[in-house]
Amino acid sequence: MTLPWVLAITGASGAPYAVRLLEVLASNEVPLHLIVSKYGWRLLETEVDVGSRDQLVAATGGDWSHVTLLDDADRGAAPASGSAPSAGMVICPCSMGTVSAIAQGSSRSLIERAADVALKERRPLVLVPRETPFSLVHLRNLTAVTEAGAIVLPAAPGFYHKPKTVSDLVDFVVQRIIDHMGLDITFTSRWEGRE
């Protein structure tokens, strides 16, 4: 049995990362529990003109046979319990408010509770913040979640692959997320070193 990943989208700028990540995971039939916060939906509409489930399905390739959309207000859904198995969780993009809640263990929503579960069960938790600059409060919260076991993977693309388009930059970050999920999926060129 392949365990599902939990994928959450929150209200930090960076909707193209979320859409592309969801597209890659859905097209590779990775089982997903998808949670979109209220501000995540607003972000999707603002940045990529996606305002509904149907539009998100269309924007990510149309095949959601392995994707289950959950309500962020439903703290009784499977990802809220450590007894429900999962492969881990990714929050992309991850707002600083969400980072703060995870760092403090406040668990006010399904996204926050699922992240808390990932940490307590020692499952991978990948947080993809897209914020600049970081305040001292941000840095302390990012340090706290890292100390608790999360992987902080800022949406900061590299340039050694000589990107030509915005999509190339998005793919760079999404490939790094996929790598930290431990999935054998490659769709970008990789650094091969210099002789």
**Per-residue pLDDT tens over the stretch 131-157:** 999 999 999 999 999 999 999 999 999
Residue 56's pLDDT is 98
The CATH fold assigned to 5-180 is Rossmann fold (3.40.50)
- Dihedral angle of Cα 6, 91, 172, 55, to the nearest 10 degrees: 70
Residue 76's pLDDT is 93
Mark the ranges of the chain whose per-residue pLDDT is less than 70.
Answer: 195
Give dist(CA 140, CA 173) in Å, integer: 23
Residue 195's pLDDT is 67
Q: Is the distance from CB of 170 to CB of 20 less than 8 angstroms?
A: yes
Q: Is the distance from CB of 4 to CB of 84 less than 8 angstroms?
A: no
Q: Is the distance from CB of 7 to CB of 90 less than 8 angstroms?
A: yes
Q: Is the distance from CB of 30 to CB of 193 less than 8 angstroms?
A: no
Residue 192's pLDDT is 78
Q: Is the distance from CB of 12 to CB of 129 less than 8 angstroms?
A: yes
Residue 22's pLDDT is 98
Residue 143's pLDDT is 98
H-helix or E-strand spanning residue 70: strand 67-71
Which is nearest to 129 in space by CA: 103, 107, 109?
103
